[in-house]
Amino acid sequence: MRDDPDEGMLSWDESVFRDEHVFEIDYVPETFEHRESQLESLKYALRPAVRGSRPLNTMVRGPPGTGKTTAVQKLFGELGAQGGVETVRVNCQVDSTRYAVFSRIFEHIFEYEPPSSGISFKKLFGQITDRLVEEDEVLAVALDDVNYLFYENEASDTLYSLLRAHEAHSGARIGVVVISSDLSLDVIDELDGRVQSVFRPEEVYFPVYDVDEIVDILRERARRGFHEGVVGAPELDRVAELTAESGDLRVGIDLLRRAGLHAEMRASRTVAVEDVEAAYEKSKYVHLSRSLRGLSDRERDLVRVVAEHDGSQAGEVYEAFREETGLGYTRYSEIVNKLDRLGVVDADYADIDGRGRSRSLSLAYDADAVVERL
């Protein structure tokens, strides 16, 4: 019987988890189901690197939580073990300028960080390409969440430097994988003409998982992450149902972990549907939390101002934002556009009597949930 004092209760030194890391965002599963065709397409693009040639440039697109990053990490792990190939994944949500991207590449290749100041981009770039040529290595770079480079107007310069490296330094062989979760972003159209002429990527699309696929993936995570019998079929089905509603597999993985923690809080050896429902109140905001973590202080300030003036006209929000930060309208407008594209803020145009069209700004999530996560 569930929660039986003798049989269903955890002791102080027990856990429902076999391996809690299985539910972490950076976990790469041994078995990667329901993405066979996407993996094959990526292998096709990366295979030339094993033969000492530049990999084919690739664009990976799909909604959040559809396996894009995991697929690239998995193949980069295999490729990096081949010898003669360096693989670097850059999180552009964190490193959102050209200099930051190349600093991350430098750190991976040399195994130490470049000086934080006093070194020009040209010198940083030259040291990277010199090393690649000296070691006769191919470099494959994944720009994960490349949309953040576009939000900061850094995408064209970054890609231009990577794609033209062989012209700046003969013998440098670099291939680029760009990963984007912003389906409204047309990566090619948004690039400068000088980049469009050389960036003709293979395209790999990752669709949303259907319910059966979600159940398969979550069942395997639960098997690896929990002790036997902790999560039953009804509980797993409820997790899958809530995950399908969100369209983001990360919600389901986070939900399993939080449901397990909730069961432990009750000192229960098993997860109940009630644990799942309680945990979902936090897990449903996984995407929001991730988006907010990547914002600068000024961007977070604007989110707070919008929360305080939810539904107000853009001009009214700007006045409050300027009073708090002292920033001008141009920077304000850039931040609004970024938050809109991230799905944190809805910036909708409406006709106003006598004033033409104006934008109203509102949060895309519950205001209390947003403020709490800021």
Tokens found for residue 199: 């960036």
- At 65, the pLDDT band (50, 70, 90 cuts) reads very high
Cα–Cα distance, 68 to 60 (Å, whole number): 7
Cα–Cα distance, 39 to 45 (Å, whole number): 10
Q: How far is CA 70 from its chain centroid?
A: 10
Q: Phi and psi (nearest 5°) for 9? A: -100, 135
Cα–Cα distance, 70 to 226 (Å, whole number): 21
Question: Which residue type, as a one-letter code, is found at position 324?
Answer: E
Task: For 11-50, give the DSSP string.
Answer: PTT--SBS-GGGGSTT---SS-TT-HHHHHHHHHHHGGGG
Task: Give the residue among 106, 49, 101 at the shortest CA–CA distance from 75.
Answer: 49
Residue 3 has pLDDT above 50, yes or no: no
- Residue-level pLDDT at 9: 85
pLDDT tens sequence across 249-270: 999 999 999 999 999 999 999 9
In the three-class reduction of DSSP (H, G, I as helix; E, B as strand; rest coil), residue 279 is classed as helix
Task: For 54-120, give the DSSP string.
Answer: PPPPEEEE-STTSSHHHHHHHHHHHHHTTSSEEEEEEETTT--SHHHHHHHHHHHHHSSPPPSSS--
Cα–Cα distance, 231 to 111 (Å, whole number): 42
Cα–Cα distance, 203 to 131 (Å, whole number): 30
Tokens found for residue 97: 């300028």
Residue found under tokens 């980069």: 76
Domain chopping of the chain, boundaries: 36-205, 209-284, 294-373
- Residue-level pLDDT at 2: 47
Fold of 209-284: Helicase, Ruva Protein; domain 3 (1.10.8)
Range from 26-35, 47-56, 170-179 carrying the lowest mean pLDDT: 26-35
In the three-class reduction of DSSP (H, G, I as helix; E, B as strand; rest coil), residue 150 is classed as helix
pLDDT tens sequence across 180-236: 999 999 999 999 999 999 999 999 999 999 999 999 999 999 999 999 999 999 999
Residue 82 has pLDDT above 90, yes or no: no
| Mean residue pLDDT across the chain | 92
Residue 12 has pLDDT above 90, yes or no: no
Architecture of the structural domain at 294-373: Orthogonal Bundle (1.10)
Residue 6 has pLDDT above 70, yes or no: no
pLDDT tens sequence across 113-140: 998 777 999 999 999 999 999 999 999 9
Range from 16-25, 100-109, 281-290 carrying the lowest mean pLDDT: 281-290
Cα–Cα distance, 264 to 258 (Å, whole number): 10
Range from 41-50, 91-100, 291-300 carrying the lowest mean pLDDT: 291-300
As a whole-number percent, the residues of the chain with pLDDT over 90 amount to: 77
Fold of 36-205: Rossmann fold (3.40.50)
Q: Phi and psi (nearest 5°) for 334? A: -60, -45
Mean pLDDT computed over 275-294? 92
- At 305, the pLDDT band (50, 70, 90 cuts) reads very high
Q: How far is CA 340 from its chain centroid?
A: 17
Tokens found for residue 356: 């033409």
Q: Are 87 and 208 in contact (CB under 8 A)?
A: no
